[in-house]
Amino acid sequence: MVDKLKVEQCVESLCQNGCAAVNATIVVLEQDINNASLDGLLPEECEMVLSELKTIMSVYDRPCEINVPGDAFVRKAAQN
């Protein structure tokens, strides 16, 4: 049985970590949702989390920057 409260709490917790963490979570869930570990959620609940995170991130006009050490040059070049 799907626990909607647990899904909501997971989404809120992930969102508090910022957009880079949310985007990273989306990538992980999209790659292998059946083996994703999200606070003991069932696979169906992970699918709900993924859907909710995608909906939340869709309101932004552009992707957020993910800060990776040494990639400042790449981000600067991409902006030009």
Residues spanned by the domain of 16: 4-79
In tens digits, what is the pLDDT along the chain, a chain of 80 residues? 899 999 999 999 999 998 888 988 899 899 887 777 787 888 899 999 999 999 999 887 666 655 545 444 444 444 43
What per-residue confidence (pLDDT) applies to 32? 83
Ordered DSSP codes for 33-71: GGG--STT--HHHHHHHHHHHHHHHTTSSSPPP---TT-
**Domain total in the chain:** 1
